[in-house]
Structure formats: C-alpha cells, structure tokens
C-alpha cells in the first residue's frame, strides 16, 4: 500500500468511530456523506497508476450518489420530522466506541492473516471492507431512529463497495452502476418510509412499528 491508501483507510476508520459516537442525526448524515465523497476517490487510490474511463465513471457516480444525492435525500427527510438526536440507543455511545475498537482490531487481524493474491492484492482494503460492513450492521441493530438505521445500511454497503472497488479492474462497470443506482433508489424509498412513520406516529423510532402488530 502507498501512503495515499494508508491515509484514506485511516480517515475512513475514524469516520466509523465518529458515526458510532454521535447522537446528532445531522452529524450522522454528514459523516455518511463525507464517507461517500472519500469513496468517490477510492478507485484512484486503490488502483494507483491505473486510470481508465471505467475508473472515472465509477468515481463520478460514487461521488454523486453517495456523497451528494443520498445525503440530500436524508436531510430532506429529516426536515419533515422533529427529531434531532438519537437519545436512547439500544447500546450506549461509550460502549459503541468500545465495540468499534473491537470490530476494527478484529477486522484488521482477519485482513492480516488472509494471504494477498493477484485477485485481491491489498490486505488493508479487505480489512477496511470488513470493518465498515460490521460497523454498519452494528448501527442497524443498535439504533432506534429510522434515519440512523438507514445510515447503518449505507455504511454496510460502503464496506461491500470497498471490497468491490478493490477488484474493479476485473469487474464489469454495469455491475457497479447497478449497485449504486440500487442504493439511490433504496435511500429514496427509505426517505418516504421515514416520512410516513413520522406522519403516523409523530416519531421516527422504528419501535413504533410494533404498534402495527396489535
């Protein structure tokens, strides 16, 4: 790995810690947006010295969808509700940071023991993809607010994206475009769901959906 790759990995890991430690929903969206923007330059960093139309298109789509379109959709959804913070998560923020430390250490341990190959030359990229996927999954299962869970889904997908981009030279552009467009449509639908939950229950806590069982 070159210095640019090391720096990008460190920044993305720090953003994971930030998102697991903040209660402010707007800050959470901004963190996801920053992560999306950084992932937009990820193809160039992951394949230093290799530039093609494929790389340019993938980078532009990622920046637009992950770094701009999806955060704007989530900010729009947030404007329609009265909730600003995730006040009482299922796992507290101090414990969340501790879990993030464990996830990060475990991910880089796993990435370190898996031998590098021609198909996946960077062990650090593999470790980062595992780390981001697990942090996203942790957000999904430990946060009550629908927007927090949407962000968890995005972080989980970002981990999958890191894994895929590391193989992008051998992958079809259509596959990656399909994944990015699925993300955009998914975030749009989730924004509508958030609005409907707030309209029905005057809250965006997914625990309110338990009322539908009664």
Please list, in sequence order, all residues whose beta carbon lies within 8 angstroms of the beta carbon of residue 125, skipping any fewer than 6 positions away: 5, 9, 46, 111, 162, 163, 166
pLDDT digits (tens, 9 = 90+) for 93-115: 999 999 999 999 999 998 888 77
Q: What mean pLDDT is predicted for residues 155-175?
A: 69
Closest C-alpha among 98, 165, 110, 111 to residue 138: 98
pLDDT digits (tens, 9 = 90+) for 28-50: 999 989 998 888 887 777 665 55
Predicted confidence band of residue 189 (pLDDT cuts 50, 70, 90):
low
pTM of full prediction above 0.75: yes
d(CA 140, CA 36): 18
């Amino acid at each position: 790995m070159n210095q640019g790759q090391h720096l990008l990995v460190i920044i993305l890991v720090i953003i994971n810690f930030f998102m697991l430690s903040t209660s402010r929903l707007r800050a959470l969206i901004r963190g996801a947006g920053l992560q999306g923007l950084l992932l937009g330059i990820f193809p160039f960093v992951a394949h230093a010295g290799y530039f093609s139309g494929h790389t340019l298109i993938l980078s532009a789509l990622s920046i637009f969808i992950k770094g701009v379109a999806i955060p704007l959709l989530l900010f729009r959804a947030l404007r329609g509700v009265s909730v600003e913070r995730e006040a009482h998560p299922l796992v507290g923020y101090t414990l969340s940071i501790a879990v993030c430390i464990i996830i990060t250490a475990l991910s880089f341990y796993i990435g370190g023991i898996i031998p590098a190959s021609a198909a996946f030359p960077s062990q650090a990229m593999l470790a980062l993809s595992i780390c981001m996927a697990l942090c996203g999954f942790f957000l999904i299962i430990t946060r009550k607010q629908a927007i927090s869970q949407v962000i968890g889904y995005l972080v989980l997908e970002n981990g999958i994206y890191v894994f895929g981009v590391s193989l992008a030279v051998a992958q079809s552009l259509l596959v990656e475009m399909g994944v990015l467009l699925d993300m955009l449509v998914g975030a749009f639908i989730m924004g509508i769901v958030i609005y409907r939950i707030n309209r029905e229950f005057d809250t965006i806590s997914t625990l309110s959906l338990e009322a539908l069982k009664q």
